[in-house]
Structure 1
Amino acid sequence: MQSAIVLGGGMVGVGTALHLQRRGWSVTLVDRREPGRETSYGNAGIIQSEAVRPYPMPRDFATLARIAMGRTNDVRYRLASLPQHAGPLLRYWWHSTPERHREATLAWARLIAHATAEHDTLIREAHADNLIRRAGFRILYRDPAALAAATAIAEENQRDFGVKFRVLNGSELAKAEPILRDDLPGAIHWLEPWTVSDPGGLVSAYAGLFERLGGTLLRGDAQTLTETRSGWSVDTASGRIDAAHVVVTLGPWSPDLLQKFGYRIPLVRKRGYHMHYQGGRSLDLPLVDTAMGYAMAPMAKGIRITTGAELTSPDAPATPIQLGHAEAAARGLLDIGSRVEPEPWFGTRPCSIDMLPVLGPVPTHRGLWVNFGHGHQGFTLGPATGKLLAEMMNGEAPAVDTSPYRIDRF
């Protein structure tokens, strides 16, 4: 029986572990915390089948100037932290040209096409359907011109990729979400994405399935990973464990571990914040407020507001300025109630410089594999890329061409 250690208990790690387990592998999942407590916990809870294009970096001067001057809420930066972000951001900007973005979109859309199908299987087997709603989500536009431009892009996505949407004018939006202010231009309702009332809970449900099927969950420190004559070993709370293969699914911490083995993988690390609110009125479906750079979603703990990207140091203290602006903007739309937690949650999204995940074998080290760098879509894509990696590790022909995701492309 083949053996593997999967390092990282987020959606990507749990999805990878389950797909290896399906192929008869003996799998141990190792994390410093319980599964689903880091980046996979803090998102807006949307399995985004409509996200057929990865997020490029803005290239027009007006948008970049607004970001630089702090006039947009979707991106914020700490000046003292910019030197450590400069290199990855420049490469991200280079990869965001229209022609390079088109190439990335082809590779990205192949992954997104498998997202809901792979989740669907795990949801049913994990008995987690109570966490899922299959009714899509809405993107609000406060300016008619912005709505028209977004509609044109949506029509292009529908033509090229078959994604389904509906444009809501102001009165239709008011009927769909009667608790919202009634003077808004409208929204796009993406019809096919699924929403999750407890993102961390879904990862936990998948991890529970993994354990029921014979998998082992252990607490441990990924930085203790060492190569041995027969494979790999790592220290855990239950002692040292060994396996022939190891998979690095540590999200934003993956490059730190891979440096030990001679690899320097550039990532754009985007911090995000969230907070829950109770006591007001709840939305029917998640709503993304593009003009103000945040999303709000009805969840088990109340309405969750999630922010855009903050470029800061990994160990920098919380500076939830974006959350404050988002909260004020949300209160201008509806009564969200009062804050539930005393302090906001925050975590880091790992975004590769070319907008594609890093997936596959590490060619210089036998039995070392990687699966990280999904940008804003690790929660959506974890089971899909987990299956692809398991196919590669098991000697099967992957469902899609995996060459765009190889680690040695950088």
Structure 2
Amino acid sequence: MAHSLTYILTLLAAGIGLIVLLTTKYKAPAFFALFLACLVVGLGIGLPLSGVITTMKDGFGNILKSLGLIIVLGTTLGLLLEYTGSTTVMATYLIKKLSNKHAPWAMSLTGFIVGLPIFCDSGYIVLSGLNRSMARRTGIPITIMSVSLATGLYAVHCLIPPHPGASAAAATIGVDFGKLILIGIVVAIPAMIVGNLWAKYAGKKTIEHVTDEVFDIDDEHARLSLIKACLPVFVPIVLIGIKSFLTACAHTYPALTTFLLTLGDPVMALLIGVLLAFNCKRGWKKGELSKLLQEGAEKAGGILVIIGMGGAFGAILTSANIGAHFSQSLALGSMGIFFPFLLTSVLKTAQGSSTVAIITAASIMLPLLPALGLNTENGRLFCVLAMGGGSMMISHANDAYFWVIAKFSGLEMKTMLKVYSTATILMGTTTIIMVYILSKVL
């Protein structure tokens, strides 16, 4: 049965509206919100209930096949880096190398580096003690320090795998992970810089200061060398990056290329990172490592079910043939990368989760790529980065990360909205400008 564009858009709005309503007002888990949205849209386009379930299973399985191991290993690596104190060692090194005057830059860089393998909320919690200590020692308002750290973490969280939103979007759209990481870092750096500059400009007018005790790393963490602390982060990134640029050498050095391609597979690279992280702690106690690995797998499970259901929602939208309807009725070609950016921005602002926003947007964008002129290798890459920029804005009271920053820094709601929320708008805007420029250059 053929449906009009108006009918398809109404169904799509109903599905997205249901996700927003259930996750914000009723605090329902994103998994069940996406599940119900699949049923509403699937039945609405005329699929039988059995067909809806089959389509959901296919979409769920396909996305987990691409991302399951990556998310589990990435989550585990993050936990190991937290537990062994590697993040604290890296942060302390940067802070020692920069003067008190440049302490906000030290926190931004710390957030950026630590945020590569660790989720932004976890990274902020781990580094909050160090952040408050630096604010106390330097006399710099805690608002400046906190937002500098928060935006450094946020920049990479929204743009770079193995973070779940970027990873899921890359798998859905069909983007090489290595190129996304390398170009994503290039795009994330200006976003981090803008977040830092705004924090220093808007935060200097605030009066919040820290008066609690100074935070110091313990003796065990102090004994951990910087090289050991950094290897689990940088080795996987280098291996994945090398893999992306080996195609030209495949015929010249076939044996070497095959070996490096294997090591550069995201699953293998992250596994190597996990193994290197084991070496960041001496004398593991009996059962200690096993418990930590179990915790990593369990934490990843909660992420995977959301990503899987996002894939299911995408499969339902594909069945609705929404791409054909848009391409026939709207001049999407003139919007290019701005359409995925705006779509993801609306989703993020409405329901709060950057991950849910980019996963949902990727499902909608996939059939629209030809109409938008983005159905090329670079086009898909920039589409994912544009959605990443959209998933930055606007972080406010419906975002869990917003409250992590506020509670662990002791900042008031008014200050958070004025400094941090505005920073996310500027970061998202900077990101889409950078993506647009790169899309014209590359």
Fold in common (TM above 0.5): no
User: Which structure's relative contact order is higher, taking Cα pairs within 8 Å and 6+ residues apart?
Assistant: 1
Higher strand share: 1
TM-score, with structure 2 as normaliser: 0.26
Higher helix share: 2
